[in-house]
Structure 1
Amino acid sequence: MRYPTVVSALGLAGAVSAHAVPPPVAAAAASVDCTGVNAISPKCRSSEALYSRDVFYVGGRSVASGFGNILADQVYVEKLTPSCGVKQLHPLVFFHGGANSAVTWLNTPDNRKGFASYFLEKGYMVYLVDQIATGRSAQQDTTDFALANSTTIEIVQGGFSAPELAATYPQAILHTQWPGSGQAGDPIFEAFAHATVPYTTSLVAGENAMRASICKLLSLVGASYLVSHSSGAQYPILVSNDCPELVAGNINLEHSTQPFWNYGTALGSGSAARAWGLANTHLDYEPPVSDPSELQVEVVGEDTLALRNCHLQAEPARRLPKIASVPYLCTTGEASVHMTYDHCVIEFLKQAGGNPDWIKLADVGIHGNGHFGHLEKNNMDIAAVVEGWIKKQDANKAARV
């Protein structure tokens, strides 16, 4: 289902080229503070790529209410068409992480080009999704969805923008790529922190809504590469299970789908999560599983703050043939807490019959990144790594034809 509302306009973040800026504005920009939110001034130039923009709502269901039937579960999608023309075979669909929205893929908090601009300039069709009950995908069925307060300022600073200041894991001291101090009061930090939004704690309802709506989206746009950050990685996993023929590849910037467990900051802390392994809802295992209690779990490895142990399937492990059929990539920043446990997702996927790729950014010469590498100073280098992997997948597919 699609809402009848369609908006078509030049991309709001990049509608004016440098040559089109009137001379008085261009001259004034040199003396104007365009740091952080100050760049909202008409005197500040945008660094975003040129594109045209259409807006849609995809998926959804009818829910009876005391006032009649309402529509729920529809997902907000922005379609960005590059002004240079579409030159690539497969679109890219982007999924943000928790307490964020799709704006995370547009300009960075210090107003540099974001991931969307990088790929638009390469000729990719780009789709940006606000996850269910987040941002502009507001949820009307409040009986199924509960919202949590957004991430705290302390968590933003300690976990994302400046983990090196109070390192809870050894790799944190390597963090160098955040633009600005990463602390409250810094204008770049403030721009980032103000972009956090409430998110749903109704994990099962959220997954069920997203897996239906995103397969509907892909049926409309065709086989696509799914690019996710952090907890947004759970949705490409579900879509790879439900409609794998529509997923050209599953690309995860620091996947937060650690099997069966959420890690605490101290050894011995944490909590059970994702009873189906990589998700809170049903996955198609072989041999089949009707209830997640049928999955046998064991803890593997010594647990240290530098390298956490993993909660994996006990051998012989059940397979996930649909998910395993989709090419898979994870990238991990050198200074991110994900360096301590991203390997657990990789090992789980191997158990399940997959052949996942894991690129530790430091191994390819990209250093100093935390959890939000796609917003950090070297974000274009990370985007180039992602594009290189896409090109490799496309070449492999062409060779098999």
Structure 2
Amino acid sequence: MKTIETALTAMSLTLLAACTTLPGESGGSRGTSSTGPLVIQEQGSFAVGGKVVSTPGTYNNNSPSAAGQTFHGDHLYAFYQVPANSRPLPIVMLHGAFQSGRSWESTPDGREGFQSIFLRRGFPVYLVDQPRRGRAGSSTVATTTEPTPLDQLFFDQFRLGKWPAYFQNAQFDRKPETLNQFLRSVTPNTGPYDAGVISDAMAALFDKTGPAVLFSHSQAGGPGWLTAIKSQNVKGIVALEPGSGFIFPEGEMPAVMPSAAGPLAPEAVPLADFKKLTRVPIVIYYGDNFPVEPTTERGQDNWRVRLAMARLWVAAVNKHGGDAQLVHLPQIGIRGNTHFLMSDLNNVQIADLVSQFLTSKKLD
């Protein structure tokens, strides 16, 4: 692999990031991006996992039909970058619902996201578009995608505020163009959501990367746990606000949790599979602006039950000898975070917490 020089010439690949401090309405750290060239030694993209579906019959070159043809689908798309003098363990970043690998790239207001932040810290980074989403849109199962208006629901559910007002301390830039960029990151499913299909493809990705750390966001929590069960190459998990797919051992299921946003139900797996989660260190982070007691506010009560279920999940992992922890950011004095911790105004501060975890678990 040839190192890509950072001279400002036509033959160079130089990614510059301005050092900026952004204003906000809350107290906490806003953080600054590193300045100067980001030196990339290698980058590329590929598909992995999935299956090939065949149609019976014989293909006719001059009168083509479905007969005798094949269809490649249900794979994931991965884009990777390896910085110069990289650390040994890559980071694989898996997005949440209605999102793509875009979640980890530049923030809606134009700062560096977790992709660049952790590249600067020396980690190879793999960004994933999960099967049936984004650049991995070939689904072997049909669905119907409708142009359903959901912008205001997302504003509430992702805890920017209560439409049309932002939370007073929300770590989100208030410029109209920032909200425009945020809402344009929404990406529909091209096939039914299937945690098994996603985790199968993710396990195939970890076969390719070798040992690596998994970062998951929101809906990716469930597929993330399943990926760690299916692949011994998952060496640690950083889960940002897991929203569904909380798996428990058969016979140890907590009760379904009702909320103003609908019930949250646990999912059962064999105890032998669940115990595979105890071999890796896990940390879960949740942000701010939702209560720990029931409320009629849909967008906030949605996260109350997810935090409560996550606490039970962490206890279950540790009960079986695991190493899991949960950090509720307001309890450690970090306030205003939305559902998108990795792109909030204080995302460098959040990345610092993650880096401390990685160091403490010898994952860096």
User: What is the TM-score with the length of structure 1 in the denominator?
Assistant: 0.68
**For 1:356, what is the secondary structure of its paired residue?**
strand
Q: Counterpart amino acid of 2:213?
A: Y
Q: Percent identity?
A: 22
Q: How many residues align?
A: 312
Alignment pair present for 1:70 and 2:71: yes
- Is the 2:244–2:306 Cα contact (8 Å) retained in structure 1? no
- Is the 1:174–1:334 Cα contact (8 Å) retained in structure 2? no
Alignment of 1:1-400 (within 5 A): 15-16=13-14, 49-51=38-40, 52-65=42-55, 66-67=66-67, 68-82=69-83, 84-86=84-86, 88-143=87-142, 147=145, 152-160=150-158, 162-165=160-163, 173=167, 175-180=169-174, 186-199=176-189, 202-203=192-193, 206-243=194-231, 245-257=232-244, 259=246, 277=247, 285=249, 297-298=254-255, 320-336=274-290, 337=300, 338-339=303-304, 341-352=306-317, 353=320, 354-394=322-362
- Is the 1:324–1:349 Cα contact (8 Å) retained in structure 2? no
Match of 2:32 in 1: none
**For 2:283, what is the secondary structure of its paired residue?**
strand
Give 1:94 deviation, angstroms. Answer: 0.2
Give 1:54 deviation, angstroms. Answer: 0.3
Aligned partners of 1:148 and 1:173: how far apart in 2?
30
- C-alpha distance after superposition, 1:75-105 (max 9, x if no partner): 11001111x331x221100001111110111
Q: Which has the larger helix fraction?
A: 1
- C-alpha distance after superposition, 1:259-318 (max 9, x if no partner): 4xxxxxxxxxxxxxxxxx46xxxxxx4xxx6xxxx7765358xx788xx9986699xx95
User: What is the TM-score with the length of structure 2 in the denominator?
Assistant: 0.74
- Is the 1:215–1:242 Cα contact (8 Å) retained in structure 2? yes
Aligned partners of 2:145 and 2:313: how far apart in 1?
30
Instruction: Flag the 1:150–1:210 CA change in 2: closer, same or farther, 3 A.
Output: farther
Give 1:119 deviation, angstroms. Answer: 0.5
Give 1:135 deviation, angstroms. Answer: 0.4
**For 1:381, what is the secondary structure of its paired residue?**
helix
- Greater shift, 158-167 or 228-237, is seen at 158-167
Match of 1:43 in 2: none
Instruction: Flag the 1:365–1:252 CA change in 2: closer, same or farther, 3 A.
Output: same
- Greater shift, 331-340 or 119-128, is seen at 331-340
Q: Counterpart amino acid of 2:160?
A: A
- Is the 1:258–1:342 Cα contact (8 Å) retained in structure 2? no
Aligned partners of 2:346 and 2:99: how far apart in 1?
20
Aligned partners of 1:297 and 1:367: how far apart in 2?
29
Query: Per chain length, whose mean CA-contact separation is higher, i.e. which structure has more relative contact order (CA < 8 Å, sep 6+)?
Result: 2
Aligned partners of 1:156 and 1:347: how far apart in 2?
26
Give 1:151 deviation, angstroms. Answer: 6.9
Q: Counterpart amino acid of 1:348?
A: W
Give 1:357 deviation, angstroms. Answer: 0.7
- Aligned Cα RMSD in Å? 3.6
Match of 1:30 in 2: none
Instruction: Flag the 1:139–1:364 CA change in 2: closer, same or farther, 3 A.
Output: same
